[in-house]
Amino acid sequence: MSEPSDVLRGTLDLLILQTLVLEPNHGWAIAQRIQQVSRDHLKVQQGSLYPALHRLEHQGWIRSKWGRSDEKRQAKFYSLTRAGRKQLETETSKWQRLSTGVNLVLANE
């Protein structure tokens, strides 16, 4: 298996929002979920994750609340807001357009 790719900054917000659709979670679990769902193709570095979470919270797309992790440790849990759900739709649409365009260019012989 190849080494996981670092997530591009432009896609990180989309991946975090999509991960939080399922349930609120803490940062480390969000990163693990992205890596797991991508079958180890994507790896979110902690140095990128937490600034992104703070940025999304500042935008009003997620909210945070302190709680206990499965390991009984104090952790900040993030959840999607109504504005975040709307932003997820917008970001998903942008990603699909970009992906289509890139695939067309790559397929051009």
Closest by CA position to 16, among listed 60, 80, 75, 70: 80
- Measured CA angle at 38 (ends 91, 73), to 5 deg: 90
User: Of how many residues is the chain composed?
Assistant: 109
Provide mean pLDDT across the span 7-32: 90
Provide mean pLDDT across the span 23-49: 94
On the question of pLDDT at 45 being above 60, the answer is yes
What b/e readout covers 78-96, taking b as 16+ CB neighbours within 10 angstroms? bebbeebeebbeebeeeee
On the question of pLDDT at 10 being above 80, the answer is no
For the chain, the domains span: 5-107
On the question of pLDDT at 3 being above 70, the answer is no
Residue that wins the pLDDT comparison between 25 and 72: 25
pTM, two decimals, is 0.86
Domain 5-107: assigned CATH number: 1.10.10.10
48-71 residue pLDDT tens: 999 999 999 999 999 999 998 888
Provide mean pLDDT across the span 69-80: 91
